[in-house]
Amino acid sequence: MTARKIRILVVDDSAIVRKLLTEALSAEADMEVVGTAPDPFVARDKILALSPDVLTLDIEMPRMDGVTFLKRLMHFRPMPVIVISSLGTSSSQASIEALAAGAVDVLAKPGGPQSVGELGQHLAAKVRAAAAARVQRPLAPASPVAPVASAYPASSLIAIGASTGGTEAIHQVLMGMPANGPGIVIAQHIPPVFSRVFAERLNAACPMRVREACDGDAVEPGLALVAPGNFHLLVRRAANGYRVEVKDGPLVCYQRPAVDVLFRSVAQAAGAHAVGAILTGMGSDGAQGLLAMQQAGARTIAQDEATCVVFGMPREAIKLGGVHRVLPLGAISAALLSEARR
């Protein structure tokens, strides 16, 4: 019996982009593009008529922008949506807003032959992840946590890794961190430019300072560093604590930044002084690295299936035996702080 194909509706005001996306997706044996739409009004009718499994959505469109349409869609008919947006600052900001509104992932729009090839490498995997996603209405904003009186050991370090659904999961975790909490390093699968806008959004909302990491940055209490898109983030021992290294390199688990790369470096640099958390995401990235952290003496946490958008990465880490505790998203901030106090 032939497995049912993933049904996709492509929504973009550019006929060229609609054609490129359709060709890339139609080349996959397990996918079919059931329709395309140049704007949200046509898309609305085709969603009702075609019942697609996954929607790819442009941000800048005539008659109604993609974020406004997404918010209405998630209210009346929640479904997996992948935002495909240009790399301009305003579009990137809107794309991060779309993730907060319920989109499961974001991709950079193809801008030439090279980027079309790069898109083809990632689009199919993201569509498969979206098709398997547990689509949830956006979470209510968490209340910021006030600074706590008890200090954390200067050597304590928290490492977080995530993919599909991870931008909002990380937001929730950081909202539960006090302004004077332990230094945090984050690897989230996200394209360049979007990672900087993501960090800026977190910085504006969370008690801790948050910024996109630069090579040589110190890991400090009250600061969270986000891996730049398309670069690996590593932690190194320094004379007075830890510093990060931002570097190019081959894809690991098809990703750059890779959670495995970050976690392995944390295992080597911080050992038992570290705490690791693997959050929602497709695939197995982070499982081997979290095991390395555990074997180095670190405490490790995985997000539970019920609160994940996609349970792939946490499930693989649990199967490998690298997880001490499996917790719902809402309990992870407190658990990370508790472990960091040890």
Which residues are designated catalytic? Answer: 163, 189, 285
The helix/strand/coil state of 29 is coil
Q: In what order do the strands lie in the sheet with 232-238?
A: 218-219, 241-247, 232-238
The helix/strand/coil state of 11 is strand
How many CB atoms are closer than 10 A to CB 33? 21
Q: 89-100 vs 166-175: helix axis angle to the nearest 10?
A: 80
**Within the chain, where are the H helices?**
15-26, 40-50, 66-76, 89-100, 113-131, 166-175, 194-205, 259-270, 287-295, 312-320, 329-340
How many alpha carbons lie under 13 Å from residue 227 in its C-beta half-sphere? 34
The helix/strand/coil state of 234 is strand
Computed over its alpha carbons, how large is the radius of gyration of the chain?
A: 20
Residue 147 CB partners (closer than 8 Å, separation 6+) = 178, 179, 180, 207
Contact of 312 with 160, CB cutoff 8 Å: no
The helix/strand/coil state of 87 is coil
